[in-house]
Amino acid sequence: MRNIIVPQVFKCLSWLPLSAARVLGAAIGQCMWLAKGRSHRITLKNIRTCFPQLSPQETQKLTHQSLIETAKTAAEVSLIWRNSWSWLESKIVAVEGEDILRAELAKGRGLIALAPHLGNWEVIAPYLASVAPLTAMYQPVAIPAMDKLILAGRSKSNINMAPTNRKGVLMLLKALQQGNIVGILPDQLPKKDAGAELASFFGQETLTMSLVHSLITRTQSRAIALFAKRVPGGFKVIVLPADEAIYSEDPLISIRGLNASVENCVHLAPAQYQWEYNRFRFPKSHQLAREQKRNLFACKQHCDTNP
């Protein structure tokens, strides 16, 4: 049943004007706030964890805003999938930092574009592809018809979709070696068979992908971070340089730089981050690594304080 209903809902939403989709998203987000369900619980928990300096009232306000903004994103995505680049380009009311993007790309070593789950990330791939050929990683969803809809919406001119496996990584390497752009969602919880390290994210020990470090090490490519902020009338694309630590040869320092790059973006629009994503959970396959790292840290502290 989900294979039929969910794709049809998104297809219907794709015919709405952007303003109407946002009104609908705001209404859905308000319902999520009032229902106090799973999305509300995870969002509230993550905001409390990442912004301990906020008062209880400020935490509640940010949680409310976040649920509304996340629902707006969900209501907008099908419009972006269905419409052409010319339509989307007309909705990008401003671009801040494009000179950073073009300067890094001009170095000819390929460019890794880090696009966290902030604002509406579906805007980013078409925007990047308007600058240079883009190869972006894609993880299939569980609903086949929905997977087909998403893949068709993202596979537009100048965009190649790479699967989240060894073949996909080879596609990314080839794109970088050709001086093109590679798009990665850097704040996803890595799959159990993917390379990952524990690194700080908003002060929390967080499992983080090591793919970006591997790509930079093998290609000497440059990196940027960017997102599409939701603003009146459309979107504002904001490009930031990646944290310099991302270029470290030390994997852990590099991965900390990756997380810092995401944090720098989130601080510019915290209400538009996807806080209901359970980023701080640890799959069972990584529990052992987590405990080993904790034990190593405890041992180091003990050795340092007891010579």
* pLDDT per residue as tens digits for the range 64-97: 999 999 999 999 999 999 999 999 999 999 999 9
Is 166's pLDDT higher than 70?
yes
* pLDDT per residue as tens digits for the range 8-29: 888 888 899 999 999 999 999 9
Query: Quick one: how far is CA 142 from the chain centroid?
Result: 19
d(CA 83, CA 103): 29
How much is the mean pLDDT over the chain? 91
The residues with which 92 forms a beta bridge, in sequence order, are 235
Lowest mean pLDDT among 21-35, 94-108, 141-155, 164-178: 141-155
User: In the predicted model, what is the mean pLDDT of residues 274-296?
Assistant: 68
d(CA 197, CA 200): 10
pLDDT at 221: 98
User: What H or E segment, with its residue span, contains residue 183?
Assistant: strand 181-184
pLDDT at 298: 53
Is 305's pLDDT higher than 50?
no
Distances (CA, A) of 90 to 57, 86, 123, 187, 221: 37, 6, 12, 28, 31
* pLDDT per residue as tens digits for the range 113-150: 999 999 999 999 999 999 999 999 888 778 888 888 88
Is 297's pLDDT higher than 60?
no
The residues with which 94 forms a beta bridge, in sequence order, are 236
Is 240's pLDDT higher than 70?
yes
Look at the alpha carbons of 223, 117, 8, 137 in this order and tell me if their dihedral is positive or negative: positive
d(CA 263, CA 116): 9
Say which residues have a Cβ less than 8 Å from residue 173's Cβ, sequence separation at least 6: 215, 218, 219
d(CA 42, CA 245): 30
Is 292's pLDDT higher than 60?
no
Is the pTM for the entire model greater than 0.85?
yes
Q: Would you say 238 and 284 are in contact if contact means Cβ atoms under 8 Å apart?
A: no
Determine what percent of the chain is predicted with pLDDT higher than 90.
74
Amino acid letter, residue 271: A
pLDDT at 37: 97
Say which residues have a Cβ less than 8 Å from residue 32's Cβ, sequence separation at least 6: 39, 40, 67, 71
pLDDT at 285: 52
C-alpha triplet 54, 57, 63: angle, nearest 5°: 80
Q: Pick from 13, 51, 28, 27: which is nearest to 270 by CA?
A: 51
Strands 234-241 and 134-138: unpaired
Is 304's pLDDT higher than 60?
no
